[in-house]
Chains A and B, each alone.
With several copies, the nearest count.
Chain A
Amino acid sequence: MKLTIPEEEIMGHGHLACQGCGGALAMRYTLKTLGRNTVLSVPACCWSVIDGPFPHSAVNIPVFHTAFEAAASTASGIKAGFEIQGKDVNVVAWAGDGGTYDIGIQALSGAAERNDDILYICYDNEAYMNTGVQRSGSTPLKAWTTTTPVAHPKDRPKKDLISIMAAHRMPYIATASVAYPEDLTEKLEKAKSIKGTRFLLIFSPCPPGWRADPKNTVKLARLAVETKVFNLLEIENGLDWRITKKIRKPKPVIEYLKLQGRFRHLTEDDVSLIQENVEKEWNILMNKVGE
């Protein structure tokens, strides 16, 4: 038997992620694939904590902790520093959705506009988890967070970051999920081989933030794909869209929603609305994919 993902563990145990953290899984896969000639620029996010307290670190490659809004620009600087010294290193910005969709989007947009040679990875858990579950631009419609209380749950859809990035015409963009590590590994390999700004969004459930059972992390990540709530894609040069995981018989969204406390307050109408949105978005996506 061959293992379906790289064997070497670069990320070590003892880290401070919660039980069943999707973000920890995402990091584990990423390091396995990118290897040790990699450095991370990490802004404020759960990973600022997960990595462990000074003078400890769980990841065993260089991590440069940076300001919340500065994952991309710090990575650009690191890359430039290596380049001028003649060193060839994978420079990765590793940020949460808050640090990507919201406070970090400017630095990311700037790096992409310049086509700086960095790989930007966002592990998306759909809220500010490190500060205790506040809404982000990535939080889905109708979800509960502490700043979108049940009396007034999120009234805006999840920001379509992928289309935003595609509009930057970056050489490579992909979405991935912790439930599909082989697909993720492939995309990382591809991203690694390309020069310029690359962007990868990894869907990474967060049990406490989603009010979900830790054991369901992978299950939820899979259900998101199977219900077409989150689609696995690849985009080249912002123009060529491709679906890497085709779902023949999508499951109803309720199967995904019902396992999460953050959706507990949903009415039937809410669920139908979400289901409709999923269909609508799927059609829009099909249009882009050209199918």
Chain B
Amino acid sequence: MPEKTEKQIVFDKVKDTPPLAVSLYTMDYNKTGSWRNVRPVIDYEKCTGCMTCWKFCPEPAIDAEKYEEDGKEKYKPVIDYEYCKGCGICWVECPVEGAIYTEEEGE
């Protein structure tokens, strides 16, 4: 399995470079949260856990957190701001008014 890494890997020397361009690491180093202009925030008071936001996030930057409630398995959406690009799909697609609201990223 490919390795995760916090920094973009650039091989310093020929001898460290593989003989052909094969990937050895994930893209996790690339914190695309910095691309975000607008930040989605989930209001768990309103959220019904329908997971529509999770379903449609292209990054994926929403985790489906499993938990149990009343003996039933349930899911809760948790936005990963390290990667959320702020596209806005989740707040457009969320069926519950106000369950996701937005904040400007700023200076």
Residues on A facing B (Cβ under 8 Å): 1, 3-5, 7, 9, 11-22, 24-25, 28, 51-58, 60, 63, 178, 181, 207, 213-219
Interface residues on B, range: 35 or more
Contacts of A7 in B (CB 8 A): 64
B101 located at the interface, meaning its Cβ lies under 8 Å from any Cβ of chain A in the complex: no
B42 located at the interface, meaning its Cβ lies under 8 Å from any Cβ of chain A in the complex: no
B43 located at the interface, meaning its Cβ lies under 8 Å from any Cβ of chain A in the complex: no
Contact indicator A56/B55 (Cβ below 8 Å): no
Contacts of B58 in A (CB 8 A): 17, 20-22, 24-25, 28, 217
Contact indicator B59/A55 (Cβ below 8 Å): no
Contact indicator A55/B24 (Cβ below 8 Å): yes
B94 CB to closest chain A CB, in angstroms?
11
Contact indicator B49/A56 (Cβ below 8 Å): no
Known: A55-B23, A215-B88, A217-B58. A14 touches B28 (CB 8 A): yes
CB interface residues, B 16-67, toward A, < 8 Å: 18, 21-32, 35, 49-51, 54-56, 58-61, 64
- What secondary structure prevails in chain B residues at the interface with A? loop
Contact indicator B89/A13 (Cβ below 8 Å): no
Choice from A13, A25, A215, A216 contacting B80 with Cβ under 8 Å: A13
A234 CB to closest chain B CB, in angstroms?
22
A123 CB to closest chain B CB, in angstroms?
12
Cross-chain pairs A/B with CB under 8 angstroms, 22 sampled: A9-B60, A12-B28, A14-B26, A14-B30, A16-B27, A16-B30, A19-B86, A20-B85, A20-B87, A20-B89, A21-B58, A24-B59, A28-B58, A56-B5, A56-B30, A58-B27, A60-B2, A181-B56, A214-B88, A215-B88, A217-B58, A217-B89
Contacts of A207 in B (CB 8 A): 87
Besides the known contacts A14-B27, A21-B58, A57-B25, 8 further A-B residue pairs in the complex with CB atoms under 8 A apart? A1-B73, A3-B64, A18-B85, A19-B87, A20-B85, A54-B23, A57-B2, A57-B27
- Chain A minimum-CB-distance residue to B35: A19
Instruction: Give Cα A18–Cα B85 distance, bound, in whole angstroms.
Output: 8
B60 CB to closest chain A CB, in angstroms?
5
Instruction: Give Cα A189–Cα B107 distance, bound, in whole angstroms.
Output: 47
Contact indicator A13/B59 (Cβ below 8 Å): yes
Instruction: Give Cα A189–Cα B2 distance, bound, in whole angstroms.
Output: 26
Contact indicator B88/A213 (Cβ below 8 Å): yes
Q: Which of B25, B61, B73, B85 has the most CB of A within 10 A?
A: B85
Contact indicator B92/A216 (Cβ below 8 Å): yes
